Structure 1
Amino acid sequence: MQSFKLGFLVNPIAGIGGSVALKGSDGDGIAEQALALGATAKSNYRAQQALEVLLPYQERIQVLTVSADMGETTAKSLGFDTQVIYQATEPTSAIDTENAVQALIDEGIDILLFAGGDGTARNVCSQVGDSFPVLGIPAGCKIHSGVYAVTPKAAGRVIEKMVTNELVTLTDADVMDIDESLFRDGVVKAKRYGEMSVPSELQYVQAVKSGGKESDELVLQDIAADVINHMEEQLYIIGSGSTTAFLMEELGLANTLLGVDVIQEQDLIATDITEPQLWQMLEQYDDQQGEQPAKLVITLIGGQGHIFGRGNQQLSPRIIQRIGKDNIIVIATKTKLAQLNQRPLIADTGDQVLDQALSGLIKITTGYNDQVLYPVASPN
């Protein structure tokens, strides 16, 4: 049987700045700064989740990849027939990504599966344009591009269809990215950089993320009024997103649109907090006020239905577990829920046990004294 040639590439530092509030990994010295603040690289773990779906088909797949942490280590650890096509420099760079993409395509791969964020997609696009099939494994802080699967496992499912010779339609998807220097200041400025050809399995591949704020101000006022009316004296952690930003605006508090803030008794006590800082704060709070558990207020990130795993990496599995599912407040407009076309919300924390625990029906505040039940699913 002829082998399926899977091109496999990992940006090992993709998303490394997310948990420490740096909003990404683009820019000189950002990765080093993130590591110094206690961040850990997770893109290879997310790439591994995608490849694990393909383990039943190992005999059919040859993985052509890049040296060390740019793909080789993960593919070999899972036992795939692995061939290194390109030797990356150390530390790796965008130039390595671009050179590796070209080398892999020259080897006659069937599709390029890559793990990264929007910056990585831009690097890949600069080499392939819309002339070669690709699929992204989401591993960055910001995933605006339509070339990524909804979750790492979803990426594996799409490749599985190709390996088993199911009909997979290709479509052109936009490559989008934002200016991280502005992003770190709370300004979202997205730009289209091109398009690439991706498998269009709609349940597995995301649409281009919406970039605008909610426009229905009256509905948002009702949602904010409901949350504020039920606020007590305990700690409230406010996640990222335009809907939570409106809540903060109604409270008259400064907000980190793309970060995590903390309030208590409706006063702002921490802004753009990192995961280690948040963990320490929760430890101190629980020691002092254990009878009143902290609350977490979150919303859907973009148009994909993610409540965890996109744009809020500060909310790590240990943070979410400490807070507890019963203390999570989800807010969203019914319009935004309707745009999901009955697809479930997605909890993609990186911890499979936690994702499963978060799955099922969850209450969502959609107005004043108005809640709906909506399903949450763990990644496919």
Structure 2
Amino acid sequence: MGKFRLGLIINPLAGLGGSVALKGSDGVAAEALALGAQPKAGLRMHTALEELLEFKDKIIVYTASGAMGEDVCRAMGFETEICYQAPLNTEAGDTKSAVAELCKLQPDLLLFAGGDGTARDVYAVVDEQQVVLGVPAGVKIHSGVYGITPKAAGIVVRLLLQGELVSLMEADVMDIDEAAFREGTVRARRFGEMRVPAEPRYVQAVKMGGKEVDELVLADIAAELIDEMDDSLYIMGSGSTVAAVMQELGLDNTLLGVDLVQDRQLMASDLTAAQLLEATENQKVKLVITLIGGQGHILGRGNQQLSPALIRRIGKDNIVILATKTKLKALEGRPLIVDSGDPELDKALSGYYRIVTGYRDYVMYQVANPSE
């Protein structure tokens, strides 16, 4: 399997003002250091990473130089690549610059240590699809993007590496006006949302007696995909989960074949590999697929019409995977499998994907390939 790609950023100034009663670090880092404050963010990240030590050979860390990540990661023995050269005296702009460079590498998870100001800086530049998680290291932690403790943040990442179902949710990025706070006024503001992992949450409205009711779950999955549909040409793969989307759209469906949908209308049915290549030339395309229950294959079993040439044209970022949590749990932590017949493509497709498991409900799950 491919290595877990962990983006990692530490704001070395986070939390400096707390121990010296400055009620924050924004704009007062120099004053805090002069008063004897000791940087804590690196230690906080160290605590989180301790939860991952047994998985070191399965992780590659992309980070910034020095105190912004490199020092801690190398000291702990993680395979580390530097994507941003940080100055000796960092500032907020360095967090933004480092995150921007990290996002170009599309890490499976971006782990950052800081406080609400750091979360704001990450939010300012991060791609909305990027999954992030904060290691609390600041004075102010109002945002919902942080683990409740550094160790808790590490445990969530460990669950991912263990193959557990880790739900995704949108969490608020909050911050307060520090100048007003120092004068005794709490003035909080919501700046937006970032996508974060959480421990598995299997109880939802469409369950009865703790078990998913398949028809209701499939209807929820279908409603979520339909809500997200844009003007792309959608290749609708085979299987009952994708069929539920077609049913919700009121369109005829080829259960064991591949259909084309655009603007929620059926454009063509039961296409061959050659027909799909012809129909998608110079088009904006998305592929909707599901897994074969029990096996976990998403490519290479029952959908050979989806040729390597077509998949390369579509691109990894335009593949939408639908699945019930029941099917995913039945895999008992085994990854989803791509077996396109092209080993290089299979390798490129590996990694962690956002799986649609209900309405506004997702989990992160690993896709691998037989050659690794």
Query: So what's the TM-score if we normalise by structure 2?
Result: 0.53
CA-based RMSD: 1.2
- Contact 1:130 1:172 (8 Å CA) reproduced: no
Rounded to whole Å, the distance in 2 between the matches of 1:34 and 1:97 is 19
- Contact 1:16 1:24 (8 Å CA) reproduced: yes
Rounded to whole Å, the distance in 1 between the matches of 2:151 and 2:199 is 13
* 1:115-151 deviation per Cα after TM superposition (whole angstroms, max 9, x unaligned): 0000000000011253210000000001000000000
Aligned counterpart, 1:8: 8
Rounded to whole Å, the distance in 2 between the matches of 1:129 and 1:104 is 10
Please tell me whether residue 81 in structure 1 is matched to residue 69 in structure 2.
no
Rounded to whole Å, the distance in 2 between the matches of 1:99 and 1:79 is 25
Aligned counterpart, 1:42: 40
1:99 to 97, 100, 109: 97
Rounded to whole Å, the distance in 1 between the matches of 2:3 and 2:110 is 15
- Contact 2:165 2:200 (8 Å CA) reproduced: no
Rounded to whole Å, the distance in 2 between the matches of 1:108 and 1:130 is 12
Please report how far the alpha carbon of residue 202 of structure 1 lies from its aligned counterpart in structure 2 after TM superposition: 7.5
Rounded to whole Å, the distance in 1 between the matches of 2:191 and 2:127 is 10
Rounded to whole Å, the distance in 2 between the matches of 1:169 and 1:188 is 32
- Contact 2:166 2:200 (8 Å CA) reproduced: no
* 1:217-241 deviation per Cα after TM superposition (whole angstroms, max 9, x unaligned): xxxxxxxxxxxxxxxxxxxxxxxxx
Please give the residue correspondences for 1:269-288 in structure 2 after superposition, counting only pairs within 5 Å. none
Rounded to whole Å, the distance in 2 between the matches of 1:89 and 1:36 is 20
Rounded to whole Å, the distance in 1 between the matches of 2:41 and 2:61 is 18
Please tell me whether residue 166 in structure 1 is matched to residue 168 in structure 2.
no
Aligned counterpart, 1:149: 147
Please report how far the alpha carbon of residue 90 of structure 1 lies from its aligned counterpart in structure 2 after TM superposition: 2.7
* 1:287-306 deviation per Cα after TM superposition (whole angstroms, max 9, x unaligned): xxxxxxxxxxxxxxxxxxxx
AA partner of residue 111 (structure 1) = L
Identity, % of aligned positions = 55
AA partner of residue 134 (structure 1) = V
Rounded to whole Å, the distance in 1 between the matches of 2:71 and 2:88 is 15
* 1:64-83 deviation per Cα after TM superposition (whole angstroms, max 9, x unaligned): 10000000000011000011
Please give the residue correspondences for 1:197-216 in structure 2 after superposition, counting only pairs within 5 Å. 197-201=195-199
Q: Taking structure 1 as reference, are residues 129 and 109 closer, same or farther at Cα in structure 2, changes over 3 Å only?
A: closer
Please give the residue correspondences for 1:311-350 in structure 2 after superposition, counting only pairs within 5 Å. none
Aligned counterpart, 2:22: 22
Aligned counterpart, 1:191: 189
Q: Which runs of 5+ in 2 are unaligned?
A: 202-372
What SS does the corresponding residue of 1:79 show, helix, strand or coil? coil
Rounded to whole Å, the distance in 2 between the matches of 1:185 and 1:43 is 26
* 1:242-270 deviation per Cα after TM superposition (whole angstroms, max 9, x unaligned): xxxxxxxxxxxxxxxxxxxxxxxxxxxxx
Please report how far the alpha carbon of residue 161 of structure 1 lies from its aligned counterpart in structure 2 after TM superposition: 1.0
1:123 to 106, 114, 121: 121
Aligned residues: 201
Rounded to whole Å, the distance in 2 between the matches of 1:110 and 1:68 is 22
Aligned counterpart, 2:59: 61
AA partner of residue 128 (structure 2) = D
Aligned counterpart, 1:227: none
Rounded to whole Å, the distance in 2 between the matches of 1:56 and 1:71 is 19
AA partner of residue 125 (structure 1) = Y
Q: Taking structure 1 as reference, are residues 184 and 48 closer, same or farther at Cα in structure 2, changes over 3 Å only?
A: same
Please report how far the alpha carbon of residue 36 of structure 1 lies from its aligned counterpart in structure 2 after TM superposition: 1.1
Please report how far the alpha carbon of residue 163 of structure 1 lies from its aligned counterpart in structure 2 after TM superposition: 1.4
Please report how far the alpha carbon of residue 108 of structure 1 lies from its aligned counterpart in structure 2 after TM superposition: 2.4
* 1:181-230 deviation per Cα after TM superposition (whole angstroms, max 9, x unaligned): 11111110000001000012279xxxxxxxxxxxxxxxxxxxxxxxxxxx
Rounded to whole Å, the distance in 2 between the matches of 1:18 and 1:104 is 29
Rounded to whole Å, the distance in 2 between the matches of 1:54 and 1:112 is 15
AA partner of residue 2 (structure 2) = Q
Aligned counterpart, 1:175: 173
Aligned counterpart, 1:139: 137
Q: Taking structure 1 as reference, are residues 103 and 129 closer, same or farther at Cα in structure 2, changes over 3 Å only?
A: closer
AA partner of residue 66 (structure 2) = A
AA partner of residue 148 (structure 1) = Y
Higher Rg: 2
